[in-house]
Chain A
Amino acid sequence: MSEAIDFTKTKAFLIDMTKCTGCRGCQVACKQWNQLDAEKTTFFTGEGYQNPPLMSEYTYTRIKFRDYQKNGENEFAFYKEMCMHCNEPACASVCPVGAFKKTKEGPVTYDADRCIGCRFCMVACPFGVPKYEWSKAFPLVRKCTGCFARVKDGKKPACATTCASAISYGPRAEMVQEASRRIAARPEKYLNKLYGAEEAGGTSVIYLTALPFDELGFKHVTKRPLPSYTWQALRLVPGIFLTVGSSLSLLSWFTHRKERIKKEEEQRASGVTPPKEES
Chain B
Amino acid sequence: MTAARIIYREIKSYHNFVKFLIVLVSMAALASMIRFIFGLGVTTNLNDTFPWGLWISFDVVTAVPLAAGAFTLGAIVHCFHIKKLEPLVRPAIVTGFLGYSLVCVGLLLDLGQPQRGWHTMVYWNPHSPMFEVSMCIMAYTTVLFLEFLSPVCEKFGYHVPLRLLRTIEMPLVVAAASISTLHQSSLGTFFLIAVDKLHPLWYNPLLPLLFWVSAMCAGISIITVEASMSHKWMGQPDEGELLETLAKILPCVLGVYLTLRLVSLFTLTEGKLWDRPGLIALFVLEIAALVIPFVMLLSAKVRTHNRGRSTAAWLVIFGVVVNRFNVSMFGMEAPGTMYYPSIIESVVTIGIIAAHILFFVLIAKYFPIFEHHPETVDYSLPDHFHKTEKGHASGGGLGNEA
Residues of B contacting A276 with CB < 8 Å? 386
Q: How far is the CA of A136 from the CA of B394 in the complex (A)?
A: 66
Within 172-211 of A, Cβ neighbours of B (below 8 Å) are at none
Determine the residue in chain A with the shortest Cβ distance to B203. A229
User: Looking at the complex, which one of B49, B81, B116, B386 makes contact with A255 (CB distance below 8 Å)?
Assistant: B81
Q: How many residues of A contact B (CB 8 A)?
A: 70
Q: How far is the CA of A237 from the CA of B48 in the complex (A)?
A: 31
User: Looking at the complex, which one of A116, A220, A251 makes contact with B79 (CB distance below 8 Å)?
Assistant: A251
Residues of B contacting A234 with CB < 8 Å? 126-127, 129, 132, 186, 189
Within 112-164 of B, Cβ neighbours of A (below 8 Å) are at 112-117, 119-120, 122-132, 134
Contact size range, B: 35 or more
* Cross-chain pair count, CB within 8 angstroms: 213
Residues of A contacting B177 with CB < 8 Å? 244-245, 248
Within the complex, what minimum Cβ distance (angstroms) separates A45 from chain B?
14
Within the complex, what minimum Cβ distance (angstroms) separates B84 from chain A?
13
Q: How far is the CA of A137 from the CA of B112 in the complex (A)?
A: 8
Determine the residue in chain B with the shortest Cβ distance to A134. B41
Within the complex, what minimum Cβ distance (angstroms) separates A88 from chain B?
10
Residues of B contacting A128 with CB < 8 Å? 48-49
User: Looking at the complex, which one of B52, B75, B126, B205 makes contact with A248 (CB distance below 8 Å)?
Assistant: B75
Residues of B contacting A241 with CB < 8 Å? 178-179, 181-182
Q: How far is the CA of A240 from the CA of B188 in the complex (A)?
A: 15
Q: How far is the CA of A117 from the CA of B131 in the complex (A)?
A: 13
Residues of B contacting A245 with CB < 8 Å? 174-175, 177-178
Given A116-B117, A135-B41, A249 and B52 contact (CB-CB distance below 8 Å): no
Q: Are B181 and A227 in contact (CB under 8 A)?
A: no
User: Looking at the complex, which one of A96, A232, A259 makes contact with B205 (CB distance below 8 Å)?
Assistant: A232
Q: How far is the CA of A134 from the CA of B39 in the complex (A)?
A: 7
Within the complex, what minimum Cβ distance (angstroms) separates A113 from chain B?
9
Comparing B6-14, B91-99, B191-199, B224-232, the segment that makes contact with chain A is B191-199
Q: How far is the CA of A48 from the CA of B115 in the complex (A)?
A: 41
Tell me if A83 counts as interface (CB < 8 A to partner B): no
Given A1-B127, A138-B113, A252 and B173 contact (CB-CB distance below 8 Å): yes
User: Looking at the complex, which one of A123, A138, A240, A272 makes contact with B51 (CB distance below 8 Å)?
Assistant: A123
Comparing A74-82, A154-162, A260-268, the segment that makes contact with chain B is A260-268
Given A248-B75, A252-B78, A275-B393, A230 and B193 contact (CB-CB distance below 8 Å): yes
Residues of B contacting A137 with CB < 8 Å? 35-39
Tell me if A108 counts as interface (CB < 8 A to partner B): no
Within the complex, what minimum Cβ distance (angstroms) separates B356 from chain A?
23
Q: Are A96 and B113 in contact (CB under 8 A)?
A: no
Q: How far is the CA of A118 from the CA of B52 in the complex (A)?
A: 9
Given A226-B195, A275-B386, A96 and B182 contact (CB-CB distance below 8 Å): no
- Interface flags for A211-255 (1: CB within 8 Å of B; 0: not) read 000000001111010110111111001001100110011011001
Q: Are B181 and A244 in contact (CB under 8 A)?
A: yes
Tell me if A139 counts as interface (CB < 8 A to partner B): yes
Tell me if B46 counts as interface (CB < 8 A to partner A): yes
User: Looking at the complex, which one of B37, B119, B175, B182 makes contact with A114 (CB distance below 8 Å)?
Assistant: B119
| 6 extra A-B contacts, CB within 8 A, seeds A138-B112, A245-B175 | A98-B123, A117-B114, A141-B112, A230-B129, A248-B177, A277-B386
A-B CB proximity, top 8 nearest: A117-B112, A134-B41, A255-B81, A96-B131, A98-B125, A96-B130, A119-B51, A122-B51
